[in-house]
Amino acid sequence: MRIYFSTVIRSAAPLEGGELVCLDWERKRVLARTVIAPTRPRLDDPNRLGNTRGCRGIALVGEEVIVCSYHTLRVFDRELNPLRDLTHPLMVSLHEVWTDGGPDIWASSTAIDAALCFDLQDGRLLDARWPRESSYFQERLGITPLAIDKEADNRGLFMGSAHTRHEHHLHLNAVAVWRGQLLALFSKFGLVVNLDEPAILISDRRLKGAHNLIVDPRGFAWVSDTLGRGVLHFDLRSGEPPRKLGFGEAPEVRALVRGHDRVYALKRILARFRLHPHAPPRPAFARGLARHGGSLFVGISPATILQLDETTGALIDLYTDSHDVAACIHGLEVAQS
């Protein structure tokens, strides 16, 4: 079994900020890796907290691997040989993607709170959802539309962090299709929503700051509890609060992050008194989620993949790619060898 995963390294040089990796899971052997950076166009990135560095969501379509850089869908073969790059003026901080294996792909353009559908051959924009322009979400969430020129090249216009702190920013960072309807995660508001009807399906404070959205045909869904060291599992049909599959107390995880936790606590105190330049990277920060054969594969920092039993949450196995806590897994996808 192969696992394809992507990494983001906070505070690294933007052109050295992360990789796409192909891993033989049973042998824990890296088969291929390639640096991912937004180079066409290159951007001046003042934000040290990830931003343009590295790569994010991953999808497997046929024999191709699609991975998101900040403003480009990079397409590779299964051995990570580059095939083509697809970019568009509305690709702005791409995060998670969804595809049913067809000729198109839905992507979350997180900086501009949009869900966008692109042709996988030529990058044409085929469809779009702008939830901040929905009267339903405006009334329910008290938000206003984003001031954006959709005909302009927006790729270099959201490089700082001011937009993420705006009270109306949704941080739409994951999408999925269920029963023909496009769903999304509003990470800042702690919501899973239907963008097509529209409707709020799940509201839970643990979804604030969360990543990833996997939905199976029965309506069961999984989201990375990014700050809570676990995975949230819920039923979209019932709307009941999610149950948590925690991994933070597993001895192997505690051993991995114990030293990082101490340093993180100290740096948080220093940052509060402005004695440290920025918020430090958080140990066991969960991003990257895949489901396969009764297991959940979860990415955390320092760059590690955890294999959990999807029913009990018990840790089955793990692989650590880097012990640098600034390096985090961001995208994950599982393929049979």
Bridge partners (DSSP) listed for residue 94: 109
pLDDT digits over 69-110, tens only? 999 999 999 999 999 999 999 999 999 999 999 899 999 999
pLDDT over 80 (residue 46): no
Q: Is the pLDDT of residue 7 over 90?
A: yes
Answer for the pair 264, 282: CB distance below 8 angstroms, yes or no: yes
pTM confidence score: 0.95
The three-state DSSP-derived secondary structure of the chain is CEEEEEEEECCCCHHHCCEEEEEECCCCEEEEEEECCCECCECCCCCCCCCCCCCCCEEEECCEEEEECCCEEEEEECCCCEEEEEECCCCCCEEEEECCCCCEEEEEEHHHCEEEEEECCCCCEEEEECHHHCHHHHHHHCCCCCCCCCCCCCCCCCCCCHHHHCCCCCCEEEEEEECCEEEEEECCCCEEEECCCCEEEEECHHHCCCEEEEECCCCEEEEEECCCCEEEEEECCCCCCCEEEECCCCHHHHHHHHHHHHHHHHHHHHHHCCCCCCCCCCCCCCCCEEEECCEEEEEECCCEEEEEECCCCCEEEEEECCCCCCEEEEEEEEECC
* Phi, psi at 137, each rounded to 5°: -70, -30
Which residues, including other chains, have CB under 8 Å from residue 164's CB and lie 6 or more apart? 111, 171, 188
- pLDDT confidence of residue 152: 97
- Please determine, for residue 271, whether its predicted confidence score (pLDDT) is greater than 80: no
Question: Which residue segment(s) compose the domain that 129 sits in?
Answer: 2-335
Check whether the bond before 280 is cis (ω within 30° of 0): no
Both tokens of 143, joined, read 């938000």
* Domain count of the fold of the chain: 1
Say if strands 125-129 and 114-119 run parallel, antiparallel, or are unpaired: antiparallel
Q: What is the pLDDT of residue 185?
A: 98
Q: What's the CA gap between 137 and 195, in Å, rounded? A: 9
Positive or negative, the CA dihedral 154, 156, 160, 161 is positive
Question: In this model, does residue 40 exceed pLDDT 70?
Answer: yes
CATH code of the domain containing 253: 2.120.10.30
The answer, yes or no, to whether residue 18 has pLDDT greater than 70, is yes
Average pLDDT score, the chain: 94
Measuring CA to CA, how many Å separate 72 from each of 78, 121, 165?
18, 13, 24
